[in-house]
Amino acid sequence: MLQTAGCSIICYTIIIGRNKSIIMDKETAKEIIQRYAKALAETEAIVAGIPESRLPCDKEMIKEAIKLYLKEVPEGSDTYHQLRHFYPKLAGFIPDDQAERSAKAESAMMSMDVGSEGFQYLDEHAEILKRIQNDTYLLEQELYEYMGS
């Protein structure tokens, strides 16, 4: 059972050898997606690096929920397109400590205050942006390959 943001969501994880599989029903998937959509809406102003703690559960569970639900909705529907848009956005969620430093770097660039602590994180911020861009592409490819199956 998964504990998230003050509630319980029932999901089962099966581990066979090195393969990990999450089993959930459509209602659980829908609840996870709704909470993920809320997290996206609440963090849309964050330019680079959203803290992972803002997610309703881990990325793998969100990916599985989206995959499950994509198979349940009509292919051309608004929901279908929205889910396909949501999937690669997971790349923007990074470890909280990295997100904090990235936010400081972003703030320093916006303020142009040379005394700002954030300037020491500019190189890391640039690396985070590259990683998010690369991971976004990889998630788009992953979903494309999944949907082709």
Q: Which residue has the higher pLDDT, 69 or 17?
A: 69
**Cα dihedral sign for 36, 94, 70, 72?**
negative
In-domain check, residue 136: yes
Residue 5 has pLDDT above 50, yes or no: no
Q: Which residue has the higher pLDDT, 139 or 16?
A: 139
Residue 3 has pLDDT above 50, yes or no: no
In-domain check, residue 105: yes
Please count the structural domains in the chain.
1
In-domain check, residue 53: yes
The residue-averaged pLDDT of 12-37 equals 72
In-domain check, residue 57: yes
In-domain check, residue 118: yes
Strand bridging mode 19-23 / 12-16: antiparallel
Residue 8 has pLDDT above 60, yes or no: no
Q: Which residue has the higher pLDDT, 43 or 113?
A: 43
In-domain check, residue 92: yes
In-domain check, residue 11: no
In-domain check, residue 12: no
Residue 17 has pLDDT above 80, yes or no: no
- Residue 144, domain extent: 25-148
Residue 123 has pLDDT above 90, yes or no: no
Nearest to 89, CA basis, from 20, 127, 33: 33
